[in-house]
Structure 1
C-alpha cells in the first residue's frame, strides 16, 4: 500500500488533477492523467484516486498545519501566534483581513477542491464500474467523510457557504450561500452515511485513512458545537471505549507517526517530516510567526509538563522568541512524525464538557483528570472534589486551550463556540470588531458568482 501512496505524486494526477480544475472543458485528457472511467476500472486505481486527496490535503495549504493552514491563520486571528510578515501573516494577527488577501484561497479554494474531488469519487463509485463491493464501500465512506470534514471548517470560518453536492460545474457556479443549519444537516447526513460504510479497523497498518472512530470523533465535535450534549458524550465515549486501539501516550510521543493517541493523521510527502515542524521550529529570529509571550507565560499552571515538552524558545539579539514544539523534527528524510488531525485527548475534553453540561460532575472530573494527570498537574478530584459546574467548565476550557494550542485553529473555534471571542480578544487586540468572528469571502469568488454576498463589515 505504501507503494500506491508514493506513486500518487508521479502517476496520479489522475482524478485529482482533473477534478481540481475550476471549470470543466470538453478536451482530451492530458497524456499523463487518466479520465475517471479509467481510474475506476480497478480497486487499486480507485483507491489511488482517494489517496490522492489525502496527499493533496497533507501538501496543500489548509490541512497541512503549516504556512497557510487553518492552524496558522486561526492561531493568528486568535491569541496564540504573532504574525510578522506584513503581506501574509500580520493582517491575520491584526484581524485586518482584506477580501483580496491571497491567503484566503488556502482556506476557501482548497477545501472546495477536496469537496469536488470527494463528490467525483462518490459519483463514480455509484456507477458500479467493476470495483469490489467492500472496496467501494470503504472508498465511498471516506469520500463522504472528507466532504463533511471540509464543510465543518468552511462554515466555522465563513458562516453560510455554498453547498456543492455534485461535480456539476454549471450548478455549482450559481450556488447561493446555504444556511449554517442546512450545512450542518448535510455534515451529519454525510457522517451518518460514512458511519454505515466504514469499519472499526484501519485498512492499513497506519492511521492515515479514516475508520469509524474518525467518524465518531467528528460527530462528537459537531454535536458539541450544536449543544447536543448527550450525543457529544455518546460519540466521544465510543472512541474512548476503544482502549485496545487508543491510549493517551507520553507528551513527547503524541505526534509520532501512528501514535496510539492518533485517531487520524495525514502522511507527509515521501522522505519529509511535517509542514508544522518545518514551519514553526525556529532556527533564527522569526520572520513569519511565533507564539505570543503572554500565552506562554500566563496560560499554564506551574510545572505543567506541556509547557516543558511542547514549547521551546530561541534568543536572538537579546529577545526571547517562543515557538510550538509539538512536532519536534524541523527537517529530516527519516520520517518519524505525521500531521495530527484527530487525537484521543480531544475526545476526553469533549466528553468532560458534555458531562459537565448535563451536571454529571463526577464523570466530567474523571475525564479532565486524565488530561491533567498526563500534564503532571494535581487532580481535580484531590484538590477540589466539590467543584461547582461553572468552575469545572472554566477548568475544562483552560485545559482545552493548553492541550490543543496550535492544532487546527481550536482556540479560535472554541472562543467562537462559547461566545467569548469579543470578550477575550478585545483585551489584546485594540482594533477588534465583532464582525471579525467570520472571515471575509475572497473577492474573486464573489466576482465569479454574483449569487454570493460578502460577510458583514468587509
Structure 2
C-alpha cells in the first residue's frame, strides 16, 4: 500500500482540524462527520486514525513522567501544580485531555472497523492492512488507557446512544480486549522485513511494531517468557538499528532506532499549547527536571544520557534549578516529534524479562542487554551476579535511557515500587495516585459512571 509523506499527513490533518471530526468528546462524535463511502475516502480516514494517535502522544509523556518523580512544578498552571505536588484531582485538565484523546483514537478505529468492510471497490490488500492498523491503534489505546485509569468503558461502536451510557469494564477485560486487537493486527499488518526497503517509516504500524507493543504488554503482565520472545523478535528482525551516538536520540527525528513515532510539521508543531511538551518544558518552564533526576543523569553510570538535559544559569531564579529537558524541540528544530517506542526499550524489556527468569549473565543474560545500551552511552559496563542486582540495574538503566519518554510512573506502578519511591519523593504521595482518576466531566456526562470514581478520589 502506498505511503504518504509526513508533510501530506500534516496538511490533511490541518484541513480536518477545522472540522470537529476528531475534537469532540467521544460521546458527542457524529458518525456523519467522518466520511467513508467510497475507496478514495479510505486514506484520509486512515490518516485521521494516526492523527488521533498523535493526540495521545504528549499526554503519554505527561502521565508517565510528570506523575512520577521526574519533575517539579515551576509555573502557574493548576494542572501541573497538581502533578508536581502530587495532589491530583478528577478536575485536572491533563487527566481529562488524555482520556478524550484515548477515546478519540478508539472512536476513529471503530469507525474504520465498522465502515470499511462495507465499502466496495477497495482492493483486498488495502482493506486488510487498514483494518489491521485500526485494530492495532485501538489495542494500543486500550492498553495505555487501562494502565492509566484502571477500569474504563469498553467502547466498540460509534453508536452515540450506546456510547453515552457505557459502564466501566474491569482492567483485566480491557487488557484482554487489547491483546486480542494486537494479536489480530499482528496477523495482517505488513512485514517490513520481507521488503527490499532500506528504511521503515515509523509513522505507520507494521508487524514489528505490533511485536514491540506485545513485548511491552507481556512485560506489564509479568509474562516474562513472552516478553523476552517478542522483544527478541524485534531485535533480531534487524529492521531497526541502534544509532551510534545517544545524542541523536535527543536531537533528531525518525532515527533508525524509532519503532513508533508521531511526527509534526510547521502547521501543528507541539511547541505551543497547554499540553505541548516544548512549551511546558522549555518555553514556559512550567515544570523542570527534579533535582535527583539531574543527579542520576549526570552520574558516571548514565554516560552520555546526560545529554537529555542542559543547564543554563540564567534560568536560576526563585526555585528554578536552571535545568531543561532537550528531547522536545520546536518546528525549526529536528527533534519536535514524539517517539512512543524505540529499539533501546526492547533491550530493556528483554533484560528485565531475562532477569526475572534468572538469566543473568552470558550472551543470553540480562547483563549483556543492559551493556548494549551502556556501550552506546559510553558508560562503564554493569556487573550483576544476582537477580536482585540485575533488576536494580534495569530500573536504573530505564531512568538513564528513557527519561522523559513516558515510562517512569508506569514502571514504578507495575513493579510495585511506586509507594516506596514516590513517598520518599513527595510527602503528598498517596497510593491512589497509582492510577489517574476518571475525569469529573466524564462522570457527569455518563450516568453509568456516576458513583464509579477510582478509589480515593
What is the Cα deviation at residue 74 of structure 1? Answer: 3.5
- Alpha-carbon contact 1:277-1:331 (below 8 Å) kept: no
What is the Cα deviation at residue 86 of structure 1? Answer: 4.2
- Alpha-carbon contact 2:182-2:214 (below 8 Å) kept: yes
Deviations, residues 95-138 of structure 1 (Å, cap 9, x unaligned): 21221222222111111111001100111112143211111111
What is the Cα deviation at residue 162 of structure 1? Answer: 0.6
What corresponds to 1:215 in structure 2? Answer: 210
Distance (whole Å) between structure 1 residues aligned to residue 29 and residue 217 of structure 2? 37
What is the Cα deviation at residue 331 of structure 1? Answer: 4.2
SS at structure 2 position matched to 1:126:
helix
Deviations, residues 6-54 of structure 1 (Å, cap 9, x unaligned): 4413544699717956456989x6xxx66332xxx12x43122111232
SS at structure 1 position matched to 2:448:
coil
The 1:209/1:20 distance shift into structure 2, 3 A limit, reads farther
The 1:263/1:439 distance shift into structure 2, 3 A limit, reads same
Query: If the length of structure 1 is used for normalisation, what is the TM-score?
Result: 0.87
Matches within 5 A, 1:132-143: 132-143=123-134
SS at structure 2 position matched to 1:326:
coil
Match of 2:44 among 40, 45, 48: 48
Tell me if 1:266 matches 2:262. yes
Deviations, residues 153-194 of structure 1 (Å, cap 9, x unaligned): 111111100111111222222211111111111111000110
Tell me if 1:401 matches 2:399. yes
SS at structure 2 position matched to 1:103:
helix
The 1:400/1:130 distance shift into structure 2, 3 A limit, reads same
- Alpha-carbon contact 2:10-2:267 (below 8 Å) kept: no
What corresponds to 1:101 in structure 2? Answer: 92
The 1:435/1:11 distance shift into structure 2, 3 A limit, reads closer
What corresponds to 2:445 in structure 1? Answer: 448
What corresponds to 1:112 in structure 2? Answer: 103
SS at structure 2 position matched to 1:282:
helix
Deviations, residues 193-247 of structure 1 (Å, cap 9, x unaligned): 1001112229996321111111011100110111101100010011000225333
What is the Cα deviation at residue 450 of structure 1? Answer: 2.4
Deviations, residues 236-262 of structure 1 (Å, cap 9, x unaligned): 011000225333431122252321100
Distance (whole Å) between structure 2 residues aligned to residue 379 and residue 97 of structure 1? 39
Query: If the length of structure 2 is used for normalisation, what is the TM-score?
Result: 0.88
Distance (whole Å) between structure 1 residues aligned to residue 112 and residue 19 of structure 2? 9
Tell me if 1:369 matches 2:371. yes
What corresponds to 2:327 in structure 1? Answer: 326
* Higher mean displacement: 210-219 or 446-455: 446-455
Distance (whole Å) between structure 2 residues aligned to residue 19 and residue 130 of structure 1? 30
Distance (whole Å) between structure 2 residues aligned to residue 388 and residue 197 of structure 1? 41
What corresponds to 1:359 in structure 2? Answer: 358
Tell me if 1:230 matches 2:225. yes
Distance (whole Å) between structure 2 residues aligned to residue 181 and residue 110 of structure 1? 21
The 1:26/1:346 distance shift into structure 2, 3 A limit, reads closer
Unaligned 5+ runs, structure 2: none
Deviations, residues 62-83 of structure 1 (Å, cap 9, x unaligned): 41x3xxx231243222100112
Distance (whole Å) between structure 1 residues aligned to residue 124 and residue 304 of structure 2? 45
Matches within 5 A, 1:62-101: 62-63=56-57, 65=58, 69-84=59-74, 85-101=76-92
What corresponds to 1:257 in structure 2? Answer: 253
Match of 1:428 among 425, 435, 449: 425
What corresponds to 1:8 in structure 2? Answer: 12
Unaligned 5+ runs, structure 1: none
Distance (whole Å) between structure 2 residues aligned to residue 356 and residue 180 of structure 1? 27
Distance (whole Å) between structure 1 residues aligned to residue 262 and residue 356 of structure 2? 33
* Higher mean displacement: 288-297 or 243-252: 243-252
What corresponds to 2:186 in structure 1? Answer: 195
Distance (whole Å) between structure 2 residues aligned to residue 119 and residue 264 of structure 1? 21
What corresponds to 1:438 in structure 2? Answer: 435
The 1:340/1:268 distance shift into structure 2, 3 A limit, reads same
What is the total number of aligned residue pairs between the two structures? 435
Deviations, residues 267-320 of structure 1 (Å, cap 9, x unaligned): 11346655466335536xx54111011211145532633343211012235654
* Higher mean displacement: 286-295 or 195-204: 195-204
Match of 2:310 among 312, 327, 335: 312
Distance (whole Å) between structure 2 residues aligned to residue 353 and residue 396 of structure 1? 6
